[in-house]
Structure 1
């Protein structure tokens, strides 16, 4: 793989990762709801979800999803329903304390945030299909394939982590400077609306 080819992949990945989608909307919504303390579990969950997507694609699940409209639609609607559920829950959430030592900063809450980010990222059938179609474009047949796949995968994961962290930091910063309960509730409603919107967007994705 040449440096130019790798730079082209990095550029394409930056555009893909920083373009708002289900994971970005989830990150923004959760960070608005829970503040800066949600950044680490959100980033970790999205990272593990991307690893699952990449691994599934390498194992051929992406190809199966590209062939089977039924399987694609099943995973799509499961992911969309989960996003909408999270959105409704966030929309109805009352204001929370932004004290970092509050109950919402507990390990249990961090695990829930991590789990939600992981599931929403991993339950993205378009992601699996995309990796199957996208990665081969940047792999040179004149060199061993596996080292190139590892380089591309690590590069993508780093860019994805950067994207999630930036969105979470910005949203968490905004939430962390809001103390009034009524304003916090507006942030909850905004975050919930983003999640419901992401669910509807996921449900409208077309196979192929």
Structure 2
């Protein structure tokens, strides 16, 4: 089955790759948001993931701790992850985003979730109020957070639907959602994104059909 092959071959979430043990708690949710900021740039996903790991190692694991780091410490961490084209602007962005989260939500994204009141579209909009998170970043966050926030399911955005098209699967979010258990939806979305980004992988999965 195409879906099982895709999950087995490339169904690892980006949060997992970045070392984030995602659960409904302030620190991992914030770390996912940082990862979404990094993945939003026009830079390879593996570099964004490496940069996220370096930021977390430098102490940027919560909004409070991010604010406690210096701009230069964030620049240096991004540099160690080879996130060099956007290191200075992203260091500023992360500091500004952390301050907004502290001021508006007490540093806890679960309060943003509560403010969205179960409406995925409202959550998407609230996410874009955070510096560095545009529609693309909000999609990245929602794709991954659906693993722990059920009301976001199913979240299959344009990039995931492009992967579905590559594998000749339905390009309808509800139909895609019916192909996997709820607890596998984030992994399935990640797999479809990886298919979109890797033409060789898409060809291998198609040829195995």
Greater helix content: 1
Give the TM-score, by structure 2 length. Answer: 0.31
Q: Which has the higher contact order (CA 8 A, sep 6+)?
A: 1
Give the TM-score, by structure 1 length. Answer: 0.31
From the CA coordinates, give the structure whose radius of gyration is larger: 1
